[in-house]
Each structure stands twice: as C-alpha cells, then as structure tokens.
C-alpha cells in the first residue's frame, strides 16, 4: 500500500528543531458515540494510511486507547519505532497550576505508555479549581490563571525532555503577547478553532510574525460533535467550489487551511473519510476560490469549557 507523504513544518523553539506533520489525526470524539476500542481501531487504520501525527488531550479520554494503538502498531511492524510518530497532548484546566503541570504530563505519558511527547499544549488559558466537576464548568469554579508560573513549568517539561516542544491552545493575540513578554522558550504552536467559517485572519497574521505555528482544530466545523456546527459542511459556497474541482467540501476546507499556511487537526474514524482527508496535496484552489471563501459568514462555535466567561476572548471577535 502506498502511504500518503504528509508535508512537515519546523517548530523553531522545540528541542532540536523538531518537524511536525501538517495534518494531525484528531481523537476528540463524543464519548457517548465512541468507545476506546473504536479509537484504537481508528488509530491503527490511520497509521496504515500514512497519518503520523496524533492529537489527544487528557480531557478527551483517548490517551489510553492511543497508547494501546501505538504499542500494537509497533508490535505489528506498521512502524519501526515510536520516533516515526508525532504525539501532541494537552494540559487540562483543572491542572492549570504551576505545581500540577509536571504531574499532569507524567500521567498523560503513563496513559500513552510513552517516554516523551512531541508537543505539550496548555489547553485553555483559564484555571478551574482542581476536581472532577461536570463540564461545562460554572463560573464560580474559575480561579486565577498564573500564566507565568504555568509556562515556567511547561518550559521545565521541555528542558527535562518529557516534551520536545511546548505550546498553547485557544490563546488570543493579547494572551500570546503577555506570554511572549516573559517566555524563555516561546510557544511553538497555538492550536485554535479555524475553518472557512472562522478564518482567524488577525491571529494568523500575528502568529506568522512571531514564528508561532497555528494548528486549526475543528477544520470541518466539527459537524456532528456537541461542540460543532454545520456552517462548514453545509456551506453552499464550499459546495460549489468542491463540485468545480471534483472534490468534497471537507477536502476544499482542508486544502484552504493548508494554503493559508496553517497546520490541521482533523478527526474521522471512518476509513474512507480518513483517506479522503489526506488527499489534499496534489491540487490547488484558485484565487477566485479564495475570494469566494472570504465571503463566508464568520462565526466562532467553540466557546470553551465554561458556561459563560467573557474574559476568554479579550473582546476579540
Ligand atoms: P472536525 O475534524 O472539524 O470534524 C469532525 C467531524 O467531521 C466528525 O463528526 C467526522 O465524522 C466528520 N468528518 C471528518 N472527515 C469528514 C469528511 N471527509 N467528510 C464528512 N465528514 C467528515 O472537528 P473536531 O474533532 O472538533 O477537530 C479535530 C480535532 O481537533 C479533534 O479531534 C481534537 O483532536 C482537536 N480539537 C482541539 C480543541 C482544542 O481546544 N484544542 C477543540 C476541539 C478539537 P466521522 O468520524 O464519522 O468521519
């Protein structure tokens, strides 16, 4: 079987300037619709198709299944060594305290059965009192987020070799500016919602100028997930462009992200769709396509794990 060769980007502030594959296989699935076994089977299938970058987080509950799939892929000889894979995981908001960062990373590594992560991200720029609360959290559970203390602990994780690179997720320009004012290791990545219906124009320009790679999550608008919408997959504009190229709406959306110079985390546990989502590198969109996509109505869908918290986006739309 011929594997799709996925392009890579260099992470400037990682140890040894690591390369990151531009497409990650997402593993956030609604738990009521997906079991650990489904995740494991999907990851093994994904490795067979050529995916090498896997995106997980402690809150997704997918670390154990991903770890088992990696172990099985090694056993089956689908990969020769763990080094062929790029694994991203994330620090959850109830661990967003300086003294909890290293223990949280160690727990993630244990669940993944790995010695190091390729990338460790602060999942959201908020701290929620430690505990097993129901999500979305009520506002009373939010407490002060010590960004400097947490980032210093993240830097320590990279220095210890437990994470080859570190970054953030769901950070606005203002929060990145705060972080860059004291970071000794700047964040390699900011993983944020981005798709044709939420194009992150200003954040993209800012991150490009600062050498921070954007990873687009919910690149298809997460249709079908509790945190998603139909804005992308039901877009008439994207449908028209897809028909003109003999492609699917998903492929147009993913290709558009790639041409915007960002990296992507996309989730499908369906073999045909997994394959389709990799077939975006040997064709391109036209300038007219880009102009049409720029007309799509903009709407952010994912407002984070808190019932209401207006501090999250710093007034940015
Ligand atoms: P997404 O990738 O935009 O959409 C996933 C949905 O689209 C699934 O229902 C999937 O169903 C369907 N799908 C996938 N490929 C398709 C195709 N070619 N045609 C039609 N439908 C398709 O949404 P997401 O899961 O929210 O985002 C991707 C990953 O980003 C997550 O899994 C997670 O790893 C990460 N993420 C990060 C954050 C964060 O805060 N940092 C937030 C959300 C997500 P099937 O599985 O049935 O194909």
Instruction: Please tell me the distance from the alpha carbon of residue 48 to that of residue 46, in angstroms, as a whole number.
Output: 5
CA proximity to 43, closest of 80, 78, 2, 91: 78
> What are phi and psi for residue 289, nearest 5 degrees?
-60, -45
- Residue 117 near residue 164, CB atoms below 8 Å: yes
Residue nearest atom 14 of ligand 1, based on CA coordinates: 268
Does ligand 1 come within 6 angstroms of the Cβ of 191?
Answer: yes
> What are phi and psi for residue 269, nearest 5 degrees?
-105, 15
Backbone dihedral region for residue 136 (phi beyond 0: left; psi -120 to 50: alpha; all else: beta): beta
- Residue 223 near residue 266, CB atoms below 8 Å: no
Detail the DSSP E strand segments found in 170-280. Answer: 189-193, 213-217, 263-266
Burial-class residue 112 by CB neighbours within 10 Å (0-12, 13-18, 19+).
buried
* Residue 88 CA to ligand 1 centre (angstroms): 16
- What number of CA atoms fall less than 13 Å from residue 268's CA on the CB side? 21
Token pair in block for residue 168:
């953030």
* Residue 184 CA to ligand 1 centre (angstroms): 33
Does ligand 1 come within 6 angstroms of the Cβ of 62?
Answer: no
> What residues are paired with 167 via a beta bridge?
121
- For a substitution probing ligand 1, which of 229, 238, 265 has the most ligand atoms within 8 Å of its CB? 265
**pTM of structure:** 0.98
Residue nearest atom 27 of ligand 1, based on CA coordinates: 218
pLDDT tens track, the chain, 317 positions: 557 789 999 998 888 889 999 999 999 987 656 789 999 999 999 999 999 999 999 999 999 999 999 999 999 999 999 999 999 999 999 999 999 999 999 999 999 999 999 999 999 999 999 999 999 999 999 999 999 999 999 999 999 999 999 999 999 999 999 999 999 999 999 999 999 999 999 999 999 999 999 999 999 999 988 889 999 999 999 999 999 999 999 999 999 999 999 999 999 999 999 999 999 999 999 999 999 999 999 999 998 999 877 778 888 76
End-to-end CA distance of the chain: 45
Does ligand 1 come within 6 angstroms of the Cβ of 275?
Answer: no
pLDDT at 308: 76
Instruction: Please tell me the distance from the alpha carbon of residue 107 to that of residue 85, in angstroms, as a whole number.
Output: 20
Count the neighbouring beta carbons within 10 Å of the beta carbon of residue 207: 22
Token pair in block for residue 216:
């687009």
* Cβ partners under 8 Å of residue 229, min gap 6: 197, 221, 222, 223, 299, 301
Instruction: Please tell me the distance from the alpha carbon of residue 23 to that of residue 218, in angstroms, as a whole number.
Output: 12
Does ligand 1 come within 6 angstroms of the Cβ of 218?
Answer: yes
The residue written with tokens 């076994």 in the block is 37
**Element counts in the chain: helices (H) and strands (E):** 10, 12
Active-site option among 60, 116, 137, 258? 60
Count the neighbouring beta carbons within 10 Å of the beta carbon of residue 291: 9
Count the neighbouring beta carbons within 10 Å of the beta carbon of residue 208: 14
Active site residue 120: no
Residue nearest atom 25 of ligand 1, based on CA coordinates: 267
Q: Name the binding residues for substrate.
A: 123
Does ligand 1 come within 6 angstroms of the Cβ of 107?
Answer: no
- For a substitution probing ligand 1, which of 172, 267, 271 has the most ligand atoms within 8 Å of its CB? 267
């Amino acid at each position: 079987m011929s594997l799709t060769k996925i392009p890579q980007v260099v992470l400037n502030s990682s140890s040894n300037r690591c390369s990151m594959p531009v497409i990650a296989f997402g593993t956030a699935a609604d738990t009521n619709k997906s079991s650990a076994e489904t995740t494991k089977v999907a990851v093994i299938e994904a490795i067979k198709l050529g995916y090498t970058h896997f995106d997980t987080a402690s809150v997704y509950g997918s670390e154990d299944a991903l770890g088992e799939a990696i172990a099985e892929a090694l056993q089956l000889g689908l990969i020769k060594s763990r080094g062929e894979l790029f694994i991203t995981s994330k620090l959850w908001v109830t661990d967003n305290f300086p003294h909890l960062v290293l223990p949280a990373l160690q727990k993630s590594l244990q669940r993944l059965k790995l010695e190091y992560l390729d990338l460790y991200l602060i999942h959201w720029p908020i701290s929620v009192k430690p505990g097993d609360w129901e999500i979305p959290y009520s506002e009373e559970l939010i407490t002060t987020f010590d960004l400097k203390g947490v980032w210093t602990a993240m830097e320590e994780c990279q220095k210890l070799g437990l994470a080859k690179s570190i970054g953030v997720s769901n950070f606005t320009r203002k929060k990145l500016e705060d972080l860059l004012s004291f970071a000794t290791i700047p964040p390699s990545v900011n993983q944020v919602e981005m798709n044709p219906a939420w194009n992150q124009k200003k954040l993209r320009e800012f991150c490009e100028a600062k050498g921070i790679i954007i990873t687009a999550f919910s690149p298809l608008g997460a249709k079908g997930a509790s945190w998603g919408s139909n804005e992308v997959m039901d877009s008439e504009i994207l449908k028209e462009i897809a028909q003109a190229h003999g492609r699917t709406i998903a492929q147009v959306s993913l290709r558009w992200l790639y041409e915007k110079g960002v990296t992507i985390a996309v989730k499908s546990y369906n073999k045909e769709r997994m394959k389709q989502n990799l077939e975006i590198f040997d064709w391109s969109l036209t300038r007219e396509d880009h102009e049409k996509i720029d007309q799509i109505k903009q709407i952010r869908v994912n407002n984070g794990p808190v019932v209401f918290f207006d501090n999250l986006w710093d007034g940015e739309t």
